[in-house]
Amino acid sequence: MEEKSVNKTNSNGYTFMFAVILVVVVASVLAFTATSLQPTQRENVRQEKMQNILATVGIETDRPGAQKLYDQYIVEELALNQNGEVDESKNAFEVDLAKELKKPVEEQTFPLYIAEVEGKRYYVLPLRGNGLWNAIFGYISLKDDVNTIKGATFDHLGETPGLGAEITKQWFKEAFEEEKIFDSNGNLVGVSVVKGNIDASDKDDNKVDAISGATITGDGVSDMISERLKRYLPYFEKQKDIKVAIK
């Protein structure tokens, strides 16, 4: 190529050659970077997951410190099937809900994390559902009565900043604390995100106040919570030491 003068760069053959070489070089550089950075990126995602799980049981930590606290407080990771039986062959932490939700219910695996903080037992359930534009997800933790919510975290892929994306904000998460997931008749209703002035101090109404301008994202949160919770009922009913508030 070195011998070619500037005007030769306009020939068809040269143009094709140049394009091919450029694409091959660029592709190899990108592929190399992506593969070499992947372990670090995966680790970040893992740590963030631990951080989120810990946050629902009231333990705030930064990302690098998550692993240590996770090992300390999370006592069990269970992979459940739809009948509430523990599947020992699966690693609950590695279960990808995005893939699970595409399978029929009978084939899905339901991860459950059990935390013990200051002698109290909490059940942490991963959530995933649909917002307005894309997936929304998060974690919700239940106290040992399997009725009262200890904490919740939410995140999203592509909700509108300032509207749907507000579900990640502290004030929205806090509204879920102490809410009940069963109504007074013992039916599992989850927690609904509802428009109108919801009394934040009433923790037995199964409702939290919605974000104005984010009705569909809010409905997505409600649906996600009730859909996911009901999958874990068979497991909770089997546990003798848990008195599930169902009639």
Least CB distance from residue 162 to another protein, whole Å? Answer: 7
Q: Which residue lies nearer to another protein by CB, 20 or 105?
A: 20
Angstrom distance (rounded) from CA 27 to CA 29? 6
Q: Which residue lies nearer to another protein by CB, 19 or 105?
A: 19
| Bridge partners, residue 176, by sequence | none
Find the length of the chain.
247
Least CB distance from residue 118 to another protein, whole Å? Answer: 28
The one-letter amino acid code at 72 reads: Q
Nearest by Cα to 237 from 92, 89, 15, 85: 85
Least CB distance from residue 2 to another protein, whole Å? Answer: 7
Least CB distance from residue 154 to another protein, whole Å? Answer: 14
Angstrom distance (rounded) from CA 110 to CA 107? 10
Least CB distance from residue 227 to another protein, whole Å? Answer: 26
Angstrom distance (rounded) from CA 195 to CA 238? 36
Least CB distance from residue 61 to another protein, whole Å? Answer: 13
Q: What are the residues binding another protein (CB under 8 A)?
A: 1-2, 6, 9-10, 14-15, 18-19, 22-23, 26, 29-30, 33-34, 37, 40-41, 44, 48, 63, 158, 162
Q: Which residues have CB under 8 Å from 49's CB, separation 6+? A: 93
The answer to whether residues 232 and 110 touch, using CB atoms and an 8 Å cutoff, is: yes
Rounded to the nearest angstrom, the gap between the alpha carbon of residue 79 and the centroid of all alpha carbons in its chain is 16
Q: Which residue lies nearer to another protein by CB, 128 or 143?
A: 128
Least CB distance from residue 25 to another protein, whole Å? Answer: 9
Angstrom distance (rounded) from CA 155 to CA 121? 24
H/E stretch holding 246? none
Q: Which residue lies nearer to another protein by CB, 25 or 105?
A: 25
Q: Which residue lies nearer to another protein by CB, 104 or 161?
A: 161
Q: In what order do the strands lie in the sheet with 74-80?
A: 74-80, 110-117, 120-130, 135-142, 149-156
Q: Which residue lies nearer to another protein by CB, 40 or 83?
A: 40
The answer to whether residues 146 and 245 touch, using CB atoms and an 8 Å cutoff, is: yes
Q: Which residue lies nearer to another protein by CB, 40 or 185?
A: 40
